[in-house]
Copies of this chain bind each other. A is one copy, B any other.
Amino acid sequence: MENHNHTALISKLLTCVAACENCATECLKEEDVKMMAGCIALDRDCADICSQAARLLQRNSVIAHQYLLLCEEICRLCAAECSKHQHQHCQDCAKACMECAEACHAHHEPITQD
A interface list, Cβ under 8 A from B = 3, 10, 14, 17-18, 21-22, 24-25, 28-29, 31-34, 36-37, 40-42, 44-45, 47-49, 51-52, 55-56, 58-63, 66-67, 69-70, 73-74, 77, 110-113
For the residues of A in contact with B, the DSSP-based class is helix
Closest-by-CB residue of B relative to A38 is: B28
Closest-by-CB residue of B relative to A48 is: B52
B contact residues around A69 at 8 Å (CB): 70, 111, 113
Q: CA A48 – CA B25 in complex, angstroms?
A: 15
B contact residues around A55 at 8 Å (CB): 17, 21, 47-48, 51
Closest-by-CB residue of B relative to A3 is: B22
- 11 A-B Cβ contacts within 8 A? A3-B22, A21-B58, A25-B60, A33-B37, A44-B44, A45-B56, A45-B63, A49-B67, A51-B51, A62-B77, A73-B112
